[in-house]
Chains A and B, each alone.
Chain A
Amino acid sequence: QKEVEQNSGPLSVPEGAIASLNCTYSDRGSQSFFWYRQYSGKSPELIMSIYSNGDKEDGRFTAQLNKASQYVSLLIRDSQPSDSATYLCALGRGSARQLTFGSGTQLTVLP
């Protein structure tokens, strides 16, 4: 089992819809979880971090964490074409908090 697994995608949603991105992880000891967005040819950009069970909202983005189920998700409300990118789920591990990335989910928001 991979350490971090993301729904395979690609995912297409119409403009204005909710995009749902999911991620499961295998290490029950993981404490920090992140969602990054990466546009083609660019480096990752931090969207959300979440450390506690439950929901965390920031603008149109909501991260959800369920440690018992080893599951973290990202909801994007009112999706815009500019949200079209690859979304990377990552876990922090070790004392240096090295990131373990999932393979990413490519999202396309159709105008």
Chain B
Amino acid sequence: GAVVSQHPSRVICKSGTSVKIECRSLDFQATTMFWYRQFPKKSLMLMATSNEGSKATYEQGVEKDKFLINHASLTLSTLTVTSAHPEDSSFYICSARDGRAGGPDEQYFGPGTRLTVT
């Protein structure tokens, strides 16, 4: 099956610093990648959709200047949490799909990154 990796799996940072999370599709071309966050005992909340080579589309209420997304290649997307604060502490999960015409609809998830801001 399709494999998506995410790095780091866990990060602790101080308030005010920035953190970059990488998401890679290992065995397929991910023309479309998605970033989610999940709070304890809650369902996943879509933050943004990114297509390779173009700007990300953010969901309503998600600050694009705070959560910078770059999808520069068909196998890599990054999420940078800028000037992180304790309320940004969450489980961040990426997913990817082969969005080429005729491609499958299935999304495959990375293992997630647990961010703790102190």
Binding site for B on A (CB under 8 A): 31-32, 34, 36, 42-46, 49, 51, 88, 92, 96-99, 101-104
Q: Is the Cβ of B43 less than 8 Å from the Cβ of A46?
A: no
B68 contacts A by Cβ under 8 Å = no
Complex CA distance for A34 and B106, rounded to whole angstroms: 8
B2-27 near A? 1/0 per residue, CB < 8 Å: 00000000000000000000000000
Residue from the list B93, B105, B111 in contact with A92, Cβ < 8 A: B105
Which residues of the other chain, B, contact A49 by a CB distance below 8 angstroms? 104-106
11 CB-based A-B contacts, threshold 8 Å: A31-B105, A34-B105, A44-B44, A46-B1, A46-B109, A49-B106, A96-B51, A96-B99, A99-B44, A101-B43, A104-B43
Which residues of the other chain, A, contact B34 by a CB distance below 8 angstroms? 98-99
CB-CB contacts below 8 Å: B22-71 with A: 32, 34, 43-44, 46, 49, 51, 57
CB-CB under 8 A for A44 and B46, given A96-B99, A97-B97, A97-B99: no
Give the distance to chain B from A35, nearest Cβ to Cβ, in Å.
11
Q: Is the Cβ of A43 less than 8 Å from the Cβ of B105?
A: no
Q: Is the Cβ of B105 less than 8 Å from the Cβ of A45?
A: no
Complex CA distance for A44 and B6, rounded to whole angstroms: 13
Residue from the list A32, A36, A43 in contact with B111, Cβ < 8 A: A43
Give the distance to chain A from B67, nearest Cβ to Cβ, in Å.
16
Residue from the list B1, B49, B93, B110 in contact with A96, Cβ < 8 A: B49
Q: Size class of B's contact patch?
A: 20 to 34
Complex CA distance for A25 and B93, rounded to whole angstroms: 24
Complex CA distance for A46 and B97, rounded to whole angstroms: 12
Q: Is the Cβ of B106 less than 8 Å from the Cβ of A43?
A: no
Give the distance to chain A from B5, nearest Cβ to Cβ, in Å.
11
Give the distance to chain B from A58, nearest Cβ to Cβ, in Å.
12
Complex CA distance for A97 and B69, rounded to whole angstroms: 19
Which residues of the other chain, B, contact A46 by a CB distance below 8 angstroms? 1, 106-109
Which residues of the other chain, B, contact A97 by a CB distance below 8 angstroms? 32, 97, 99, 105, 107
